[in-house]
Amino acid sequence: MDSFVWDKWVRFTHWSVALLFIINYAITKAGSEIHQWVGYAVGVLVLSRLIWGLLVHSPARLTNFLPSIPQAIQHIKQVIDERKDEHTGHNPAGAIMIWLLWSGLLALAVSGALMENWYAAPYWLEDFHETVANLTFFAALIHVSAVILMTKITGRSYLKSMKPIIKK
Top-confidence residue, 121 or 105: 105
143-161 average pLDDT score:
93
Confidence of residue 167 (pLDDT cuts 50, 70, 90): low
- Rg from Cα positions in the chain: 17
Q: What gap in Å lies between CA 112 and CA 128, rounded to an integer?
A: 10
* pLDDT above 70 for 26: yes
- pTM value is 0.92
Q: What is the rounded average pLDDT for all residues in the chain?
A: 93
pLDDT at 168: 58
* Nearest C-alpha neighbor of 29 from the set 39, 16, 40, 42: 39
* pLDDT above 90 for 165: no
C-beta of residue 108 within 8 angstroms of C-beta of residue 100: no
Q: What gap in Å lies between CA 7 and CA 4, rounded to an integer?
A: 10
Tens-place pLDDT, residues 75-98: 999 999 999 998 898 999 999 999
pLDDT at 164: 81
Q: What gap in Å lies between CA 39 and CA 93, rounded to an integer?
A: 27
Tens-place pLDDT, residues 9-24: 999 999 999 999 999 9
Top-confidence residue, 3 or 36: 36
pLDDT at 119: 73
Exposure string over 56-80, b if 16+ CB within 10 A, otherwise e: eeebbebebbebeeebbeebeeebe
